[in-house]
Amino acid sequence: MIRPRTPAVRSAAVAGHAPPCYIPPTCATDLGRVRMGITGMARRRQLYEGKAKVLFEGPEPGTLVQYFKDDASAGNGAKKGIITGKGVLNNRISEYLMMRLTEIGVPTHFMRRLNMREQLIREVEIIPLEIVVRNIAAGSLSTRLGIPEGTRLPRSIIEYYYKNDALNDPMVAEEHITAFGWASTQDMDDIVSLTLRVNDFLTGLFLGVGISLVDFKLEFGRLWEEDDMRVVLADEISPDNCRLWDTKTNEKMDKDRFRRDMGRVEEAYQEVARRLGILPEAGNNDMKGPEAMQ
């Protein structure tokens, strides 16, 4: 839904109140320069580096380049590692899923994939929430409520977490979200209806390739077009932020293999891509993709 920009929000945007997570002022002033290994000539301003991705200034105003790293972390950075080829696979998987979602009318920040590790996205003001949808009990829900992993939930459950590393992304209620102004009631209406559509669509899409969509995390952003604002899907959708289990064997095909030291992590990501019919054809060398050199 498109909404006119309210005067209050407009002045906040003009005054340069940075999106809380992607372009904090401290990072924006500390502009790194990168040279992309394989593409050779591309020099881009780095705006932000996260745990799994880097954001660079895009070629046009209002665009950014999202670079997918092989770095993996768990437990808010407590555990760190590299999953070789993950960046290439997540770039491709997220492209595919975002494109399919666009086809059914879900607005996203995705514009197009640029190369093995990068995609062009629209610059949005990230809403500082992690929206988690659960269809089957697992992970923190099982731990917190004592519901065994694998229990089918009576209905899909949506949870909200406040995106704040220093606080360890605490779970919050809609009351906190609206009271502290992280999102308006109208933003939340849009977020919930988009999230439910994404869940319905992705559940069916994954089921079609023998994968149960157990749970996943989404992020949304505000996209400003002139004086209008739309809430759009942002970030990525990949085995880094979905739990994906083989429907027959319940074998895990997602980042839990890394979080729980189960081994065969790369293979699991590749298998997801293979089943979706999008495994990059290139050999192992290309899986490394261009390397960012600072």
Interacting residues with ligand AIR (CB under 6 A):
130, 132, 138-141, 215-217, 240-243, 255
82 part of the interface to ligand ASP, by CB under 6 A: no
Using DSSP's 3-state secondary structure scheme, residue 180 falls into: coil
When binding is defined by CB under 6 A, the residue of 11, 76, 102, 186 that contacts ligand ASP is: 76
Helix axes 265-276, 86-103, angle to 10 degrees: 30
77 binds ligand ASP (CB under 6 A): yes
CB of 267 to ligand AIR, least distance (A): 18
Question: What DSSP designation does 165 have?
Answer: G
Name every residue whose Cβ is closer than 8 Å to that of residue 61 and which is 6 or more positions away in sequence: none
Answer for which of 75, 105, 148, 283 binds ligand ASP (CB under 6 A) is 75
51 is a contact residue toward ligand ASP (CB under 6 A): yes
Q: Give how many residues touch ligand ASP by CB under 6 A.
A: 8
- 216 makes contact, choosing from ligand AIR, ligand ASP, none, with CB < 5 to 8 Å by partner type, with ligand AIR
Q: Where are the alpha helices (DSSP H) in the chain?
A: 7-14, 25-29, 86-103, 139-145, 174-179, 185-207, 256-259, 265-276, 284-287
Does 140 participate in binding ligand ASP (rule CB under 6 A)? no
Q: Which is nearer to ligand AIR, 44 or 257 (CB)?
A: 257
Alpha-carbon gap, residue 263 to 251, rounded angstroms: 12
Decide: is 166 part of the binding site for ligand ASP (CB under 6 A): no
Q: Considering only CA atoms, which of 83, 89, 93, 17 is closest in space to residue 51?
A: 83
Closer residue to ligand ASP, CB minimum distance, 77 or 277: 77
Shortest reach from residue 74's CB to ligand ASP, in Å: 4
Burial class of residue 55 (count of CB atoms within 10 Å of its CB; 0-12, 13-18, 19+): buried
Contact 125, 183 (CB under 8 A): no
Q: How many CB atoms are closer than 10 A to CB 90?
A: 26
Nearest-angstrom CA–CA distance, 222 and 125: 5
Query: CA geometry: angle at 73 spanning 67 and 75, to 5°?
Result: 140
Rounded to whole angstroms, how far apart are CA atoms 58 and 70?
Answer: 21
User: In the complex, what is the shortest distance from the CB of residue 263 to ligand AIR, in angstroms, rounded to a whole number?
Assistant: 18
Residue nearest to ligand AIR (CB): 139
Q: Which of 3, 5, 13, 73 binds ligand ASP (CB under 6 A)?
A: 73
Point out the residue whose Cβ comes nearest to ligand ASP: 73
Among 9, 28, 34, 74, binds ligand ASP (CB under 6 A): 74
Residue (21 or 36) nearer to ligand AIR, CB:
21
Q: Point out which span in 35-43, 59-67, 74-82, 179-187 binds ligand ASP (CB under 6 A).
A: 74-82
Q: How far is the CB of 256 from ligand AIR (least distance, A)?
A: 8
Summarize as ranges the residues that interact with ligand ASP (CB under 6 A): 51, 73-77, 255, 259
